[in-house]
Structure 1
Amino acid sequence: MALAGAAPSVAQTAPAKTIGLAFDVGGIKDGGFNQAAYEGAQRAAKELGLTIRTSQPKKATEIGQGVSPLIRGGAGLVIGVGYANNDAITRTASEFMDSRFAVVDDLPKGKNAVGLRFREQEGSFLAGFLAGKQSSTGIVGFVGGVDVPVIQKFRAGFAAGVKFACPNCRVVTAFVAKTSAGFNDPKAAAVIAASMTKQGVDVIFPAAGGSGQGVVNFIKGQPCIRAANLPAGVTFKSDLFAAVAKSATYKKLCTTDSRPLFFIGVDTNQNALGDFDKKVNTLNHGLTSMVKRVDNAVYTIIKEYAEDRPWRGGDRSFGLSNGGVSVAIDSHNRALIPAALETSLKKVEQLITDGVIKVPTQ
């Protein structure tokens, strides 16, 4: 695991057997990084004999309120899942110097606090590369939950990957909201997806937590884009998926002058969400997923704490070189990504890890 900008190690009291997780909105089963963090914590708990306690805010204004109660309830390490927990983690860390703290997706202050951050731009570059290669219209979309630095890394990497694969392609960008509520508003995200398809977008990458389900829901109801509905000046440039078997619903709703719509999953492998008819041999509407291994990061920091290793505050960085991010290719989307394209994808990944391709962060 790479370590960047770490603060000096500090003494630690005997590790407590209780670990606290303070979630962002969306809950344990959000299909995103809340869920991934919980799975990593559960893996560590099972292996090390720990107890996991959680705080689950029901709305954005409640984020962070559970941090102090988790510490006072006996947790020796509290992990805030999501940047919105940073203020509460930083404040509580300064009050409980003998306890340990971490934030997923942001860098808290204090020698007893660590930031578990990811090079999302690297995985997003690969997702953008696939979108640029596989788009039928040359126009793809990015839906961010909120316009904040971590989401800008997703957007910047994605846009750069699209342009690397297809210099003439265009990326349409929109954000769900101006507050953390943007990560848990699937209805708003579905409206954005509808607007994007009217602009000719046929691949949408939502980096928006639970809101991303709205994009999936929209594509499930409208699985294709028709030539007659394309805006002026936009035409289909390819028909790459003509030979892929289609579902009965797709055949009913989509004529020969149509092309399929796709989403790109985020945080966890969400490819299966695009298998609308539950038949793996028919066309999947999840082109790929940009997997952020929050589970590995959370597991690692809990294990270090529980094994009483020297604690170092500061920034932990997870990317392509150390298994922190990846794009998912499995039985669901294999037909969408030919072997030659997968080979090219691996070459691009190597160029990134070798430092030949410098992926932007904003």
Structure 2
Amino acid sequence: MFRLLPALLALLLAGPASAQTPPAPRFVPAIVFDIGGKLDKGFNEAGLQGAERYKRATGTAYREVELTLESDRQAVLRQLVEDGATLIVSMGFAQVEAVTAAAKAFPNIRFAIIDGVVEAPNVRSFQFKEQEGSFLAGVLAAMSSRTGKIGFIGGVDIPIIRTFACGYAQGARHAVPAIGLLQAMAGTTPAAWLDPARGIELANRQMDDGADVIFAAAGATGFGVLQATAGRHHLAIGVDSNQNHLHPGTILTSMVKRVDVAVHQALRSAADGTWAAGTTVLGLKEGGVGVVIDEYNRALITPPLEAAMKEATDEIVAGRLEVVDYRKTGRCPVE
């Protein structure tokens, strides 16, 4: 008669290893912030807020990279895959080319692109109806102007920035048909996103020409616009994130893109099994864009302004008022 050792007996009772339930695959998310950094007080930072909200809710940490060079985009994605990331969220339309290449090279890895479109079976894309939020900004700007002239300053002269400008112009003329419109772009290269001095220069030029409300959709260059208008006691409109607090009392509102919502959706869906490739478009109806009223600008938004904003919002959401998307037409109906 022989006796089995306890450890051997337990192993035999457990059965073959192949019959045991395999461990669930690890979910390892990562996020790539575009040039400007995660604390840019704008687009990237909104994405950070969404990632942090997911982290707080689930306890799941994420890896992050802040790009400093355009040439690093593809290499960063490849390195994250090699380091074990299973979902990579890339911030900004400038990363479309890199995500396209990475998705093809790593078909078993999931990717998400925020503010751009990549058509691939392992990519989820998020876009926004910037024209709808900008329309509301235009309504508020035109109704707040005392000079009868308002301005727009964009960063790089590309279709998405012209979409902001065109939506803003449509809203302004909807509210005040005779309002004067000025428009300028900071440049044609990525440096145009990162030049506050250029923003100050362009804002002063528009104010000299009579504009007393200026909407800046120009990245860090826009901070110069906000500073210049505050210095001359005029009004500015922030973009992407809520920037009302930067110059309280002189920022009329901020046209926010709920980048945080997109990032949170990308992370949550990949983790809970509801993730699907394709394009998600977020507008006013989906809560993806809008303008902000808070303690920093409450005194500037009078009851007539708020009523006009609400009316326009209701009309757009109901489909009774269509705001032209410059990206689809290549032209703006308002000159």
Counterpart AA for 2:264: Y
TM-fit CA distance, 1:271: 0.8
TM-score by length of 1: 0.81
Whether the 8 Å contact between 1:22 and 1:64 is mirrored in structure 2 is no
Matched, 1:175 2:185: yes
1:217 aligned to 220, 227, 242, which one? 227
> Is the CA contact 1:23–1:63 (under 8 Å) kept in the aligned structure 2?
no
1:328 Cα deviation from its structure 2 partner = 0.5
Q: What does residue range 105-254 of structure 1 map to in structure 2 within 5 Å?
A: 105-220=115-230, 222-224=231-233
Q: Could you say which residue in structure 1 is the equivalent of 2:241?
A: 268
Question: SS where residue 156 of structure 2 aligns?
Answer: coil
RMSD value, Cα: 1.6
Cα displacement (A) at 1:303: 0.1
Q: Which runs of 5+ in 2 are unaligned?
A: 1-23, 327-335
- Residue pair 2:227, 2:247 contacting (<8 A) in 1 also: no
Relative to structure 1, is the Cα distance of residues 64 and 145 closer, same or farther in structure 2, using a 3 angstrom cutoff?
farther
Give the Cα separation in 2 of the matches to 1:161 and 1:294. 22
Contact 1:15 1:305 in 2 (8 A): no
Q: Which structure has the higher relative contact order (CA within 8 Å, separation 6+)?
A: 1
Deviations 1:223-272 (A, max 9, x none): 23xxxxxxxxxxxxxxxxxxxxxxxxxxxxxxxxxxxx111011111111
Asked whether the 8 Å contact 1:25–1:183 carries over to 2, the reply is: no
Equivalent pairs counted in the alignment come to 304
Identity between Structure 1 and Structure 2 (%) = 39
Deviation at 1:46, TM superposition (A): 2.3
Q: Which has the higher helix share?
A: 2
Q: Is the 8 A contact 1:16 1:306 kept in 2?
A: no
Q: Match for residue 5 of structure 2? A: none
Question: Equivalent residues in 2 for 1:1-362 (5 A)?
Answer: 16-220=26-230, 222-224=231-233, 261-275=234-248, 284-309=249-274, 311-362=275-326
Q: Partners in 2 of 1:193 and 1:128 — Cα distance?
A: 17
Structure 1 residues 50-59 or 153-162, which shifts more? 50-59
- The alpha carbon displacement at 1:48 in A equals 2.1
What SS does the aligned partner of 1:25 have?
coil
Unaligned runs of 5+ in 1: 1-13, 225-260, 276-283
What do residues 314-351 of structure 1 show as CA deviations (whole Å, max 9, x unaligned)? 21011111110111111111111111321221011100
Deviation at 1:77, TM superposition (A): 0.9
Q: Distance in 2 between matches of 1:59 and 1:208?
A: 19
User: Quick one: which amino acid aligns to residue 304 of structure 1?
Assistant: S
The TM-score, its normalising length taken from structure 2, stands at 0.87
**Distance across 1 between alignment mates of 2:325 and 2:97:** 23
Contact 1:22 1:85 in 2 (8 A): no
- Structure of larger gyration radius: 2
CA contact (8 A) 1:84 1:180 kept: no
For the residue of structure 1 that corresponds to 2:294, the secondary structure is coil
Per-residue deviation, 1:149: 2.2
